[in-house]
Amino acid sequence: MITTRAITKTYTDEDIITNALRSITLSIEQGEFVAIMGPSGSGKSTLLQMLSFLDRPTTGIIEFQGKQITDLSDSELAELRNRTIGFVFQSFNLLARQTVYANVELPLIYGDLKPELRAARIHNAIEAVGLSEKTKIHAGKLSGGQKQRVAIARALVTDPSVIFADEPTGNLDSVSGTQVMEILTDLHKHGKTIILVTHDLKTAHYANRLITFKDGMIESDKKL
Ligand SMILES: Nc1ncnc2c1ncn2[C@@H]1O[C@H](COP(=O)(O)OP(=O)(O)O)[C@@H](O)[C@H]1O
Ligand SMILES: [Mg+2]
């Protein structure tokens, strides 16, 4: 589903050059649940940004569903991302003063779904994360675990084929973290491809495959 061929990413900031990724060649099949681990600064978030087309590699090729996407324009990439990818961040990235409903609705505003179909989708996504009774509450009033569940509903609402999660349990207590991982596991059982970055080996074990990173390179890649 996603293949990278020798991708690299170099950041140039003032006079400082950082080789965040050094030649990553990797294939992820549809329906996999992949965990990525590695020290802070080893390039995990950079890789997720490349795989989800949030940013482009400096060199190398990325194919998505058999098509090379590295040549697409920014607007074509944005459209493809909106249709196929959901993203969950460590820090939730919700609009605190908007309701749960409005937060989950956001990705649909950019899509072309008819307004009457939207509401059902939104309610289904909120129900899938167990927050139906919080639909009209402002997101800022929720606990961390509830916020992350809203973020998952927002990632889900477009019915993407791949869900990326960059340390989704990093700011959560262990009970909320377990709930979030159980939701991701359930989505995987229903056919979603999940690509997760985590610091925690126990969290990584929800996945079927573990890739470890070191200094911008893949150190190991094994089935779990
Ligand atoms: N936008 C950026 N500009 C400059 N350097 C960056 C940027 N994003 C990440 N880096 C650098 O790239 C390296 C890899 O970062 P990152 O992918 O965030 O690592 P990880 O997620 O594994 O902690 C780090 O040295 C980091 O400082
Ligand atoms: Mg990171």
Q: Which atom of ligand 1 is nearest to the CA of 39?
A: 22
Q: What is the pLDDT of residue 116?
A: 81
Ligand 1 site residues (CB inside 6 A) read 11, 13, 18, 20, 38, 40-46
Report yes or no: 93 and 165 within 8 Å, Cβ to Cβ: no
Residue 43 · residue 20 · CB < 8 Å: yes
Q: Which ligand is located closest to the Cα atom of residue 40?
A: 1
- Pocket perturbation via mutation, ligand 1, pick of 10, 18, 58, 212 by most ligand atoms within 8 A of CB: 18
Lowest-pLDDT range, 54-68, 105-119, 142-156? Answer: 105-119
Mean pLDDT of 121-141: 97
Place of tokens 């179909």: 117
Residue 111, pLDDT > 90, answer: no
Could you tell me the two tokens for 147? 């916020």
Q: What percent of the chain has pLDDT over 90?
A: 92
- Beta bridge pairs of residue 209: 34, 223
β-bridge mates for residue 212, sequence order: 37, 220
Q: 36 exposed, middle or buried (CB, 10 Å; 0-12, 13-18, 19+)?
A: buried
- Strands 193-197 and 162-166, sheet pairing: parallel
Q: What is the pLDDT of residues 32-48, one digit of tens each?
A: 999 999 999 999 999 99
Q: Return the residue whose CA atom lies nearest to atom 6 of ligand 1.
A: 11
C-alpha to C-alpha distance for 194 and 207, rounded to whole angstroms: 8
Measured at the CA of 217, the angle between CA 164 and CA 204, to 5 degrees, comes to: 40
The answer to whether residue 112 scores a pLDDT higher than 90 is no
pTM (2 decimals)?
A: 0.95
Location of structure tokens 């890789």: 47
**Tokens encoding 158:** 């477009």
* Domain enclosing residue 116, as ranges: 2-223
Q: Could you give the number of structural domains in the chain?
A: 1
CATH number of domain containing 180: 3.40.50.300
